[in-house]
Amino acid sequence: MSRATEAIGSSVKKGPILFIMILGAFLATLNQTIMSVAVPELMHDFNITAATAQWLTTGYMLVNGVLIPITAYLMQRFTTRELFQASMFIFLAGTVVSALATSFPVLLTGRMIQAAGAGIIMPLLTNVILALFPREKRGAAMGMVGLAIIFAPAIGPTLAGYILEHYSWETMFYGMLPLTAIVIICGFIYLKNVSTRSYPKIDMVSVILSTIGFGTLLYGFSRAASAGWSSVEVLLSLAAGVISLGLFTWRQLASKDPLLDLRAFKYNMFSLTTVISIAVTIIMYADMMLLPLYLQNARGYTAMESGLLLLPGALIMGLLMPVTGKLFDRFGAKWLAVIGLLITILTTLSFVNLTDSTSYMYLVFMSTGRRIGMALLLMPIQTLGLNQLPSKLNAHGTAISNTVRQVAGAVGTSLLVTVMTSRTTTHMMDMMAAGGKGATKEQMITEASIQGINDAYLVIVGIGIIGLLLAFFIKRVGQESGQESEVQRNKAVAGKA
């Protein structure tokens, strides 16, 4: 850390600051996960398809992905307290809109407003960790954050299932209003600034390019689920996204004061762990989207039963996070990542042969196994990459890391729904061509849906194998490597002067 950052980190009380910010992040994460179980009911209430309903997740992550690149600028321009409180007020406004929604477009609008607030919270929390803790203690600190953040997915589906079984879906948002208000009030009382403040200029051209790039790219992936990959609309959207992101990248590398400093990718472990994070994020979102659809639509389980199935794995995952953080501080990330990916791949293989009679307890055990593997991956990989960066790139590194994960989650969700939808159609056509073998139309639809989900899980296995191969190239980064690189560059500049 720089001397200014060290002074800030040693002069403030870490406990109250982390508690308030983790509580805000908990609500943002809870808000994201509760919708996964509600998707089947919302499809019925609003008479929409799975491809349309998944926009409640994809749209949420899309806004996060568009907004997070700007957080590097925001974290330098505003104090920790100002930025956190603003994000919570935006989140509160989105929650009100969602609670009062009477149509799917209004609900989606509320969710996207929520996402605008939530998109600021996670990069800000990560940046605060980097400011408050030295490199050798960040693993344990990130592990404690992980315990709190993972607790939200642990209770989210089960809580949503209970609410949906006894109340209307709007209750999920009404219940979040007082909790958000409490966080805002506590923020005014306890939150302090922990970062060095500067006043960089905002590059509006970069903001526009990143918004168009991420927006059109994600729109193209999402539309592919219903319009097909050969659709002119999809192809034009993807082309516009690639071109805009290419221009955005060029502008960031050419600018002396970039909106998002992509020079962070010059650090090898940051680049490698970012790529692995893409694979890990796509794998993680599989359960959030595919499993509730299988359980509720294909098997007839209630939303409550669907949520309970995910609960044990999420709880164990949360409890393992602090342990994983300490193991990372002591041994590094390589073998944690390798073992975690092996466990994840092997347990995911159990989901490629789902049937209409697969045991509920079997699904519980396999889903729990997947979460144990994920617990060994998430925090160590992210922390390793950020540890290599010099302190001046902390804000940019956290923004890049969170942007990549949010976009990967949105692309992954869209990709999995696309695979599931297209393969379901293919399987249905094959069964109809074969005469159905005495099965009713409803039975064929159910069987085709299950086989489509199996194919989506097979794609996830392939993505996991790619992540596993990359994990073998992980190396433990020295605590001073990032700082040494920064010092060397400063000496070189001084020498030229």
Closest by Cα among 242, 135, 237, 24 to 476: 135
| Mean per-residue pLDDT, 392-401 | 82
Q: CA 244 → CA 217, 237, 474, distances in Å? A: 9, 11, 31
Q: Does residue 440 carry a pLDDT above 90?
A: no
95-105: pLDDT as tens digits = 999 999 888 89
* Dihedral in degrees, nearest 10, Cα atoms 440, 442, 446, 451: 50
Q: CA 405 → CA 381, 408, 491, distances in Å? A: 12, 5, 35
CA gap 166, 172 in Å, rounded? 11
CA gap 331, 98 in Å, rounded? 45
User: What are the domain boundaries of the chain?
Assistant: 3-202+259-485, 203-258
What topology is assigned to 3-202+259-485 in CATH? Answer: Growth Hormone; Chain: A; (1.20.1250)
Q: Does residue 269 carry a pLDDT above 50?
A: yes
Amino acid, res. 7: A
DSSP label of 298: I
Residue 11's contacts (CB-CB under 8 Å, 6 or more residues apart) are: none
| Mean per-residue pLDDT, 309-314 | 82
Q: Does residue 182 carry a pLDDT above 60?
A: yes
> pLDDT value at position 181?
93
Share of the chain above pLDDT 90, in %: 18
Range among 13-22, 23-32, 201-210, 240-249 with highest mean pLDDT value = 240-249
Q: Does residue 483 carry a pLDDT above 70?
A: no
